[in-house]
Amino acid sequence: MNIEKSLQSMGLHQPEIIKNSLFDQINYLLSLWNPLEVPDYVTGTEYTDYVYDILDILKSRKNLEDYIYNDMFLGAFGLGPSEWAKREISALCESIEKAY
E strands, the chain, are: none
Question: Which of 6, 51, 4, 55 shows the shortest CA–CA distance to 27?
Answer: 51
Give the pLDDT of residue 19.
57
Q: What is the mean pLDDT of each run of 10 residues along the chain (100 residues)?
A: 58 53 96 95 94 97 97 96 95 95
Q: First vs last Cα of the chain: how many Å apart?
A: 22
Domain boundaries, the chain: 22-36+43-99
Phi-psi region of 37 (alpha: psi -120 to 50; beta: other; left: phi over 0): left
Q: Model's pTM, two decimal places?
A: 0.78
